[in-house]
Amino acid sequence: MHTKTAAEISQDLQAGKYTSVEITQVFLQRIKQIDSSLNSYITVSEEQALEQAKAADARRAAGNAGPLTGVPFAHKDIFCTDGIRTTCASRMLENFVPPYNSTVAQKLLDAGAVCLGKTNMDEFAMGSSNETSYFGAVKNPWELSRVSGGSSGGSAAAVAARLTPFATGTDTGGSIRQPAAFCGLTGLKPTYGRVSRLGVVAFASSLDQAGPMARTAEDAALMLQAMAGFDPKDSTCAERDVPDYLAALNQPLDGLRIGLPKEYFGADLDPAMADLIQAAIKELEALGAQVQEISLPNTALSVPAYYVIAPAEASANLSRFDGVRYGYRCENPTNLDDLYMRTRAEGFGDEVKRRILIGTYALSAGYYDAYYRKAQQIRRLIRDDFVKALESVDVILSPTTPGTAFNLNAMSADPVSMYLADLFTIPVNLAGLPAISMPAGLIDGLPAGLQLVGNYFEEARLLNIAHQFQQRTQWHTLAPQGVPV
């Protein structure tokens, strides 16, 4: 049962082939057997999961079931969950138990989905390898010596290893799409404002967006249907109707216009990745798509602009963690200054401290105009590049990442090299556009992802293209070799 997709489990539950309690027990047992080798979960909420499964079975018996009723899933440990600790993979919040649900958590609970637990991540979502977690690195189920990607690496590894049918993630600069590519999954970053951020612990407020991580585009559509929608409690949430994502999956791709940014396909691109992308393009052309070259001239400025804006917003958001109201508190502070300094020095990891320092410097008097304001101006240029390009094409295609999952500890001593690996994903967040990563092949036995970027609020189109691509290819069906599946 654990090898089935969320859509298949939903159909089986509807047909009465097994109960939600039975399928939940299967996944809980599998987590106990396998996750010690992956470290994909921080908290497994067995008791609450079985209670939710029993409630889902009762709901189904009463005739009130929806598509996700009784289907197990996992939350990235950045979503507040009532009664279940939310750590953000940090010592600072190691024992924090929220008294409320995030909007996303509540929506999935209302849909009847069963939360198995909270997945590992880079600390406060800051990282691209899931190595900055206070609870230890997550290993890639395709090859245990490799990273799973970050920051949503625990969610990616858990879905790929069949420890959950799907999981939530958040994407600030590629943190859904990059681990999805590294682990052979489908990961969708929705338009900024499509999904409520209420109760999602903030990293960079103008960039963060929650989204689904699953094995197929169909599962991602099923999940986004429940997650998306206006939230009056979130001032950044868009007041727009949510389309029927599942109904749009089977639309033909005849006449679809795909743009290939010449800046993404230069001499620096790995030849194996270039070949894989060309093979994927041929599949899309066979489905009726037309391909043309486009230009995104300010692409090279995206990484430096992002690594001013994101740390600046992080330094402001993380200022609340000071040992006074909640979270970690140092022992026996001698005065208020000592409380602040030792609490933050002991509670935060190195990468979080690095970004706080960068961000605070960029926002400081005398440097704000030179750094933060200038980065925001560049951000507008990057956004305008996308807007202009999407006037002549329907979607933009690129690799999700420059290469496949790298070895554990390979980049931990060189954070700048790791930052530069986000070249293809970061511009999308700066523009606030939706983007999806889907499995497009293997390179030396490791999965590689194809990224599609759409116009604002056109998640349905991206899911449709990914689904049609997956009807012609088998990459999304492959199981990782590093764990028993």
**In-domain check, residue 248:** no
Q: Report d(CA 375, CA 365) in Å as an integer.
A: 16
**In-domain check, residue 266:** yes
CATH number of the domain to which 156 belongs:
3.90.1300.10
Mean pLDDT for the stretch of residues 330-348: 97
Helices (H), 68-112: 103-110
Give the list of residues 6+ apart from residue 466 with CB closer than 8 angstroms, or none: 186, 217, 220, 436, 438, 452
pLDDT digit string, tens, across residues 158-179: 999 999 999 999 999 999 999 9
Q: Is 417 a catalytic residue?
A: no
**In-domain check, residue 345:** yes
Tell me which of 421 and 279 has the higher pLDDT.
279
> What proportion of the chain, given as a percentage, has pLDDT over 70?
100
Token pair 């006449």 is at which residue? 255
Q: What is the pLDDT of residue 361?
A: 96
Sign of the four-CA dihedral 190, 196, 201, 204: positive
**In-domain check, residue 243:** no
pLDDT digit string, tens, across residues 179-229: 999 999 999 999 999 999 999 999 999 999 999 999 999 999 999 999 999
pLDDT digit string, tens, across residues 84-116: 999 999 999 999 999 999 999 999 999 999 999
Q: Report d(CA 6, CA 221) in Å as an integer.
A: 11
How many domains does the structure of the chain reveal? 1
**In-domain check, residue 423:** yes
| Lookup: tokens for 141 | 């189920």
Give the list of residues 6+ apart from residue 431 with CB closer than 8 angstroms, or none: 379, 382, 383, 386, 387
Write down how long the chain is: 485
Is residue 118 within 8 Å of residue 43, measured between CB atoms?
yes
Q: Report d(CA 422, CA 173) in Å as an integer.
A: 7
CB atoms within 10 A of CB 297: 15
Identify the active-site residue in 76, 107, 118, 189.
Answer: 76
**In-domain check, residue 58:** yes
Q: Report d(CA 98, CA 303) in Å as an integer.
A: 34
pLDDT digit string, tens, across residues 46-72: 999 999 999 999 999 999 999 999 999
Identify the active-site residue in 133, 175, 315, 437.
Answer: 175
Q: Is 133 a catalytic residue?
A: no
Identify the active-site residue in 45, 102, 151, 437.
Answer: 151
pTM of the model: 0.97
**In-domain check, residue 246:** no
Q: Could you list the residue range(s) of the whole structural domain that residue 42 is in?
A: 1-237+253-485
pLDDT digit string, tens, across residues 380-430: 999 999 999 999 999 999 999 999 999 999 987 777 778 878 999 999 999
Peptide bond before residue 90 is cis, with ω within 30 degrees of 0: no
Mean pLDDT of the chain: 96
Q: Report d(CA 166, CA 84) in Å as an integer.
A: 19
**In-domain check, residue 245:** no
Helix (H) or strand (E) holding 377: helix 374-389
Q: Is 102 a catalytic residue?
A: no
267: confidence class by pLDDT, cuts 50, 70, 90: low
